[in-house]
Structure 1
Amino acid sequence: MTTEMGFEDPLLKRNGKRPYVPGMKFQTVYLLHGGGEDDTTPYRYTKLEQYAEENMVMLVSPSVNDSFYMNTKYGFKYFDYLTQELPLVVKSLFAAATERENTFLVGLAMGGNGALGLGLMRPDLYSAVVDLSGGIGVTLDREEYKHSLNIEFTRVRDTLLGEDEFIGSEHDLLTFAEKNIAEKIDLPKYFIGVGEKDFIRDRVYKDYLALKNLGYDVYFEEGQGMKHDYGFWDKYLEKVLSNWLPLKREPIYGDR
């Protein structure tokens, strides 16, 4: 197809791909890694880059150590970095469509809880939030969270999060979840997925039930026979990008 002047329209697909033109932007998916990993791990163990290209989204993958994606008492303010500093850098330097309707949050394991936490504490930033195999880190289950810190994550408790009055604190997701409903906040869509044989399956399901019982728009899916590993995450990252998220799956060209 050509224009009236006889030139080929630069926005037409060539070889199945859209050509770059000035001002072209992509929807943005923040991808949060799991505990004991860094920003490179999901790319090395899955076909994530392929899934992103097929669905025409920009992936942003911060590395936050084992911080639960929260501000720490004795170190970096990771929550502030993720919700204030990093989006500004992405918007300034890259072809990212950073409006709320074009911004999504996806996390694996500890990153799943991180996504859930950020999505409940800053629902104004994201159109949809995906928690895959969460249950490790901040959770809506107050007793489970405190138990995890005391039994499983004492280093995180002692060196990063410190001591606080938990209920109503910045780590108490249930307080944020209840506040959002009480104040009738415009909320993102929440997606939660976990393997049927995941050792943390029951914790993840409790978070889903807590949101559902509060009246959240939340979808839950259990991967039959699947575990807490990259076999599950690879399959579900493809599903998340190809089916779950309400993506345009094409570049954004200004007012087009």
Structure 2
Amino acid sequence: MAFLQCEFHSDVLGRACSMNVLVPQKAATQIGMVSSGEDGRAEYPVLYLLHGLSDNHTIWMRRTSIERYAAAYGLVVVMPAGERGFYTDMAEGYRYWTMLSEELPQIVRNLFPVSTKREETFAAGLSMGGYGALKLALRCPERFAGAVALSPVTDPRSWFANGERPGMREELTRIFGSEERIVANGDDLFTLADDLLGSGKPKPRILQICGTEDGLLQENHRFRNHMEKIHFPGYCYIEDAGSHTWEFWDHYIQDGLRFLLDKEA
């Protein structure tokens, strides 16, 4: 795999941005890792891999072996910086959702050998990034075939209604505006799932994973229960011992890649 640290300009955000990108490379002398490149292949499947609230675009490379895991599938992995914006067009601030969902894929296609096929385009992330991955799948189902959400934020409305994150109230208001705006702005995952189910649009496969000791477990249960209640096709849920840690995410991103890319999984 080739590892590229990319600085690019976003017209949507009006400033310079960063992303790390893994690209398959055919190599004959690499020790300890199988080459992931293919002769004559012009395009590879692509995964948009999103970070959590306290991290940035470097974190997946620093905390996991995502390069080795992706190499087994000949997969381009795009890891963009999303700041603390919840991958949302903020009520007061930047349009992170528009950048992520519309601008970034076009930039990636222009710069890297990625497939434009729906069946070869995926999203994944942890915590805040899990929320972003689910939103990509549910709001852009014509372009994303599947998503993996590790310990995801699933219910930001409850953070307003129940005061679950009292220390973040001011920041959440800048991001989402209000509980009502979350629905009106297309940022409520429950409403997105309902609307997509009732439409004629394709349905992405979704894998949601959470640890039994995770602080986000209750809202993960709420989203799981909702997806099972509406019988969303291709939806899977895994719960296992663990908490909001990189040990958990490093382990389960491997299950996520199998879910998305193994034809027999």
Normalised to the residue count of structure 2, the TM-score between the two structures is: 0.79
Residue 150 of structure 1 deviates from its aligned partner by 6.2
CA distance in 1, matches of 2:52, 2:105: 20
Structure-2 residue corresponding to 1:229: 245
CA distance in 1, matches of 2:130, 2:160: 14
Structure-1 residue corresponding to 2:15: none
Bigger mean CA deviation after superposition, 48-57 or 173-182: 173-182
Q: Which amino acid aligns with 1:119?
A: A
Alignment of 1:73-84 (within 5 A): 73-84=91-102
CA distance in 2, matches of 1:101, 1:152: 41
CA distance in 2, matches of 1:22, 1:113: 36
Deviations 1:39-81 (A, max 9, x none): 1012101111111112210000111111111111222111111
Structure-2 residue corresponding to 1:98: 116
Do residues 158 (structure 1) and 177 (structure 2) align? no
Aligned residue among 100, 124, 127 for 2:145: 127
Residue 214 of structure 1 deviates from its aligned partner by 1.3
CA distance in 1, matches of 2:191, 2:217: 23
CA distance in 2, matches of 1:165, 1:47: 40
CA distance in 1, matches of 2:167, 2:135: 19
Q: Which amino acid aligns with 1:45?
A: R
Q: Which amino acid aligns with 2:220?
A: V
Deviations 1:98-135 (A, max 9, x none): 22110010010111111112222222221111110012
Bigger mean CA deviation after superposition, 109-118 or 21-30: 21-30
Aligned residue among 18, 36, 41 for 2:54: 36
Equivalent residues of 1:30, 1:60 under 8 A apart: yes
Residue 85 of structure 1 deviates from its aligned partner by 0.4
Equivalent residues of 2:121, 2:145 under 8 A apart: yes
Corresponding residue SS for 2:149: strand
CA distance in 2, matches of 1:129, 1:152: 30
CA distance in 1, matches of 2:100, 2:83: 13
Residues 183 and 35 (structure 1), Cα distance of their counterparts in 2 relative to 1, 3 Å cut:
same
Alignment of 1:1-256 (within 5 A): 16-17=34-35, 21=39, 24-135=42-153, 139=155, 142-144=157-159, 146-147=161-162, 151-163=166-178, 165-166=180-181, 168-170=183-185, 171-217=187-233, 218-224=235-241, 226-241=242-257, 243-247=258-262
Corresponding residue SS for 1:114: helix
Residues 24 and 36 (structure 1), Cα distance of their counterparts in 2 relative to 1, 3 Å cut:
same
CA distance in 2, matches of 1:24, 1:148: 50
Residues 238 and 166 (structure 1), Cα distance of their counterparts in 2 relative to 1, 3 Å cut:
same
Q: Which amino acid aligns with 1:179?
A: D
Equivalent residues of 1:31, 1:62 under 8 A apart: yes
Equivalent residues of 1:33, 1:108 under 8 A apart: yes
Structure-2 residue corresponding to 1:251: none
Deviations 1:198-242 (A, max 9, x none): 121121121111112112121011122x1110000000112212x
Corresponding residue SS for 2:162: helix
Corresponding residue pairs, total: 233
Equivalent residues of 2:190, 2:223 under 8 A apart: no
Residues 185 and 229 (structure 1), Cα distance of their counterparts in 2 relative to 1, 3 Å cut:
same
Looking at both structures, which has the greater relative contact order when contacts are Cα pairs under 8 Å and sequence separation is at least 6? 1
Q: Which amino acid aligns with 1:219?
A: C
Equivalent residues of 1:31, 1:106 under 8 A apart: yes
Residues 33 and 148 (structure 1), Cα distance of their counterparts in 2 relative to 1, 3 Å cut:
farther
CA distance in 2, matches of 1:233, 1:163: 30
Q: CA RMSD in A?
A: 2.6
Residues 148 and 230 (structure 1), Cα distance of their counterparts in 2 relative to 1, 3 Å cut:
farther
